[in-house]
Amino acid sequence: MNKPIVWVHGDCLSPYNPVLQKYPDAPAIWVWDEALIEEWQCESLARN
């Protein structure tokens, strides 16, 4: 695979994530992790 895709998860949401910095033109995929969101009590991200 010659074109990287960045997999973004709850531990690395910052736009300063080293992988996002290394591959700024690569598409990034956000992984929705309900268990992590509940654990961190991120009510603003919780689904209604």
Q: Where are the domains of the chain?
A: 6-45
pTM tops 0.75: no
Residue 19: the pLDDT is 86
Tell me the pLDDT tens digit for each residue of 1-48. 588 888 887 777 777 888 889 999 999 988 777 787 777 776 555 444
Question: Kindly report the CA angle at 18 between 12 and 20, in degrees rounded to 5?
Answer: 80
Residue 19, CA distances (Å) to 23, 24, 32 in order: 6, 8, 18
**What does the pLDDT read at residue 27?**
92
Whole-number Cα distances in Å, 35 to 4, 9, 38: 27, 12, 5
CA distance 7 to 29: 5
